[in-house]
């Protein structure tokens, strides 16, 4: 995907997701886009801000159950750089070795 195509796709996805009213529509679209982009899996993680001391985490994923169980039992939620808000300040995540240096 060319850079200009990416930004066009990203804008279209933003608009499409903003129009969705049901969670199942979001999951269906994520599955479709995952396949279209030739990825094997997707994961959608929502961290609810309340309660403050122990926020609830909702996870919807197509990763194999064994991997999800391992991820949760090792509490990777706490160290996964993909889940850190500061990594998205520019609106995208630069995926490289520096990103994972603390993981």
Could you tell me the residue ranges of all domains in the chain? 1-39, 42-89
pLDDT of 50:
79
3-state secondary structure of 46: strand
- Binned at pLDDT 50, 70 and 90, residue 3 comes out as low
Among residues of the chain, what percentage have pLDDT more than 90?
A: 47
Region 65-82: mean pLDDT is 92
Beta strands in 4-98 (DSSP E): 43-47, 57-61
Q: What CA–CA distance (Å, rounded) separates 58 from 91?
A: 22
Q: What angle do CA 61, 50, 26 make, to 5 degrees?
A: 30
pLDDT higher than 70, residue 6: yes
Residue predicted with more confidence, 95 or 76: 76
pLDDT of 55:
77
């Amino acid at each position: 995907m060319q850079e200009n195509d990416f930004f066009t796709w990203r804008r279209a996805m933003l608009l499409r997701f903003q129009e969705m009213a049901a969670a199942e529509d979001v999951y269906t679209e994520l599955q479709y886009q995952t396949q279209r982009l030739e990825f094997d899996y997707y994961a959608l993680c929502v961290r609810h801000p309340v309660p403050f001391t122990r926020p609830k985490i909702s996870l919807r994923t197509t990763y194999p159950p064994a991997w999800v169980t391992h991820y949760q039992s090792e509490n990777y939620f706490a160290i996964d750089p993909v889940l850190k808000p500061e990594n998205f300040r520019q609106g995208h995540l630069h995926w490289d070795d520096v990103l994972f240096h603390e993981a």
